[in-house]
Amino acid sequence: MPRFQAVDVFRVLAILAVIALHTARHEGPGAVGTAFDAATFLNQVERFAVPLFFILSGYFWSAKCRERADYLRCSLALGRRVLLLFLAWCAIYFLVSELDTIRRLGVPGTLSAWAARLGTLHGGYATMLLQGTKVHLWFLPALAIAALLSGALLSRQLDRTLFTLAILLYAIGLAGKAYADTPLGFHTAFNLRNGPFFSLLMFATGYALQRRGPQPSWAATGALLAVGGLLLQMGEVAWLHQRFGSGMAQDFTLGTWPFGLGMAMIALSDLRLARIPALAALGPLVLGVYASHYLFVDGLRDFDGIETGPAGGLRYVLLVFLLSLAFTWIVSRIPVARRVVT
């Protein structure tokens, strides 16, 4: 189907938000989550990005399915594609992080040392399987699992079962993450951000949107949902912190779903104000920027003063984005490597 300029613009805004989340300072005075200040406020505003990616993925995946039987076929194709990307980038980040160890111990020795460290990894082997060798890669298996579950259930006309399961998993995810310190919550060594706990509801929401639209009214409805979701999310974070001492940097809350849904509806309405050709042209490269940006997050972190003050934080985000974009563009020009970035 044809590309929506506004959707590609929102994808670019979302990847900038993701980079901002990953370059934010989390230690010392003024760090994210230490108080309800500008840093924590921006951290919550940026939380629309990953839900937006999941919802848009579900929307465009559903658009490719003509009949009920197609849902399973399309989900298998998407799952295979995403999991191959996951494995490729796990290998890349492993090689980058362990290059010195490989030189000293060789590949077998490095693999043995890595396997020994898995025992001390938070969440153990489950974390490695669903997160990989770099923290942000969790998105890829979470997307693949959401697509596979959605395809399996929708192909059997089990729409209600899909949304019941998605809501149940979301509730479990909230109980084990943002609401873990409340009487209804629980603590676990496994990070419930990984896997289908949050991704399935977002992905299924994209499917539901595709069956109903897009419609011009989505811009206004989406704006109300986004503002309401953001306010709810911030209220939850503040309440959880004041009442139960929970951290103020939360991945997902109740409000995150309507926040992401609202932003996705604005994007899919193809609002004229959001049609910015220069930014939209970068949309096809966003996947590569997402996958590769931690190469530059880590590389630039060694430079003194890169995060000093608001200007330093913005400089850090823009440098990571531009370097990741340039890297992705170069790799996309190499036929044998193109599939790992587009």
What's CA 89's distance to the chain center, in Å?
Answer: 15
Cis peptide before 277 (omega within 30 of 0): no
- Amino acid, single-letter form, for residue 8: D
322 assigned to some structural domain: no
CB–CB of 247/241 below 8 Å?
Answer: yes
Residue 31 three-state SS: coil
**Residue 112: predicted pLDDT:** 72
The one-character DSSP state at 36 is S
Helix (H, G, I), strand (E, B) or coil at 50: helix
Question: Is residue 3 one of the residues assigned to a domain?
Answer: no
Q: Is residue 332 part of a domain?
A: no
Collapsing DSSP states into helix, strand and coil, what is residue 336? coil
Radius of gyration (Cα) for the chain, nearest Å? 20
Q: What angle do CA 131, 248, 173 make, to 5 degrees?
A: 45
Q: Is residue 268 part of a domain?
A: yes
Q: Show the domain range for 140.
A: 34-285
Q: Let me know how long the chain is.
A: 342
48 domain residue, yes or no: yes
Residue 296's pLDDT is: 94
328 contact partners, CB below 8 Å, separation of at least 6? 285, 288, 289, 292, 341, 342
Q: Which candidate, 316, 177, 178, places its Cα nearest to that of 241? A: 178
Provide the residue-wise pLDDT of the chain in tens; the chain has 342 residues.
667 899 999 999 999 999 999 988 766 556 676 667 788 888 899 999 999 999 999 999 999 887 777 899 999 999 999 999 999 999 999 888 877 777 777 777 777 766 666 666 666 677 788 998 899 999 999 999 999 999 999 999 999 999 999 999 999 999 999 999 999 999 988 899 999 999 999 999 999 999 987 888 899 999 999 999 999 999 999 999 999 998 888 899 999 999 999 999 999 998 888 889 999 999 999 999 999 999 999 888 776 555 555 555 788 899 999 999 999 999 999 998 899 998
Domain count, the chain: 1
- Judge whether 256 and 228 are in contact, CB under 8 Å: no
Quote the DSSP letter at residue 178: T
189 occurs within a structural domain: yes
Task: Decide if 19 is inside a domain.
Answer: no
Say what the pLDDT of residue 38 is. 80
pLDDT given for residue 306 in this prediction? 57
Q: How far is CA 150 from the centre of its chain?
A: 18
Q: d(Cα 182, Cα 198) in Å, to the nearest integer?
A: 19
The runs of H, that is alpha helices, within the chain are 5-23, 38-45, 49-63, 68-97, 99-118, 124-131, 139-154, 159-176, 196-212, 218-244, 256-268, 277-280, 286-301, 309-332
Q: Is residue 15 domain-resident?
A: no
Residue 293, token pair as written in the block: 């940006």
Structure tokens that stand for 323 in this block:
């370097």
